[in-house]
Amino acid sequence: MDTRIKWDQYFMMQAVLLATRSTCQRLSVGAVIVRDKRIIAGGYNGSVAGDDHCLDEGCYLVDGHCVRTIHAEMNAILQCAKFGESTDGAEVYVTDFPCLQCTKMLLQAGITKINYLRNYHNDEYAQKLIKLKNIELNKIKLTQDDVNQIEFDSYLSGE
């Protein structure tokens, strides 16, 4: 009997881990792009490399949105672009339901499945586009049992 963590929970936990690198004070988000059960890119929400971080300078808000922050999904897609990795036919695991702009970008990039952990201002038009394009939408659940499958103690000593 296979007792390993299920694929959806495994990839979502990777997104959660990436979210811990976020430099945004308002919401930490992580995203992992996967094709054929292999991670091809990951991202978290943060500033353009070399710019000030929200953690250091505070959020740069315009109309209630931080304009300094690049969203996790966009950072993951940009990583694919930077390193020449196609996103066509891939799926994304993201800690929070994608905003409208990220949804449009994911659809244009050829993402065929959106997996998310938490609802977050689920935009009505984003949901309409997801249905229009026949994109599979999957809300992943993580349980304490999923987390408990990682035996952190064996990794803590470093020996």
Task: Return the active site residues.
Answer: 73
Tokens 């103690």, residue located: 153
Segments in the chain forming alpha helices (H):
7-19, 54-57, 72-83, 100-108, 124-132, 144-148, 153-156
User: Measured between alpha carbons, how far is 39 from 32 in angstroms, rounded to an integer?
Assistant: 7
**Three-class DSSP category at 158:** coil
**DSSP-based helix, strand, coil % in the chain, nearest 5:** 35, 20, 45
Q: How many CB atoms lie within 10 A of CB 40?
A: 17
**Three-class DSSP category at 131:** helix
In the chain, DSSP assigns E strands to 30-35, 38-44, 61-62, 65-66, 91-96, 113-118, 136-139
